[in-house]
Amino acid sequence: NPSLAFVLADRFRFPYVYKESSKLVLDILPTFHQTQYFQQLTPQTGLLLLSRYFEYVTSIGKLKSFDAHLTFEHTCATQFSTDRLTHAKQLKQDFSHRITSAQVHPILAPSKCFKLFFEMNQQNPSLHSCEELFFEKYLTKNFSEYFGKFEPLE
């Protein structure tokens, strides 16, 4: 139970359990906030959790501006120079569609948002190497300015 683990880690100051369980709790925060477990957190931890979730929600709202400032250099430019603009447009449309899919109500859980943007290969096994580079390297590096430092569960 990540909720109980988080409360106990908060109370008894277990840093590793606190860090890892907080990631799970953030994924279910709207529900967690209404439980007895949330009431058992220290006021500081409750405020930090709500603050981090608020940052996540506002980051989702800023994704359109992220889309507008894409400066990705296509690796396919030398291979397919005649199709470069078409490919760039398709890549931008795909990314814009993902942004629209992320900006829904209720807000997507952080883990679902992460999957939407970064688990590309499972959805489309025939990805071009340029698209793989865009979704796996470029976005990972540049999303940090919108979502802060991402730490996956260990």
Q: How confident is the model at residue 116 (pLDDT cuts 50, 70, 90)?
A: confident
Nearest to 106 by CA among 150, 63, 53, 144: 53
Q: How confident is the model at residue 154 (pLDDT cuts 50, 70, 90)?
A: very low
Nearest to 137 by CA among 125, 145, 129: 129
Q: Per-residue pLDDT tens for 119-139?
A: 765 555 555 677 777 777 788
The answer to whether the beta carbons of residues 88 and 74 sit under 8 Å apart is yes
Structure tokens at 145: 């300015």
Cα(61)–Cα(19) distance, integer angstroms: 25
Q: Where are the domains of the chain?
A: 2-60, 62-147
Residue with tokens 């931890």: 45
How far lies 43's CA from each of 47, 53, 79, in Å?
Answer: 6, 15, 57
Residue with tokens 């396919």: 76
Cα-flanking dihedrals φ and ψ of residue 46, to 5°?
-60, -45
Cα-flanking dihedrals φ and ψ of residue 128, to 5°?
-70, 150
Nearest to 60 by CA among 142, 123, 146: 146
Q: Per-residue pLDDT tens for 48-101?
A: 999 999 988 988 888 877 765 667 777 665 555 556 677 777 778 888 888 899
Residue with tokens 């993902």: 98
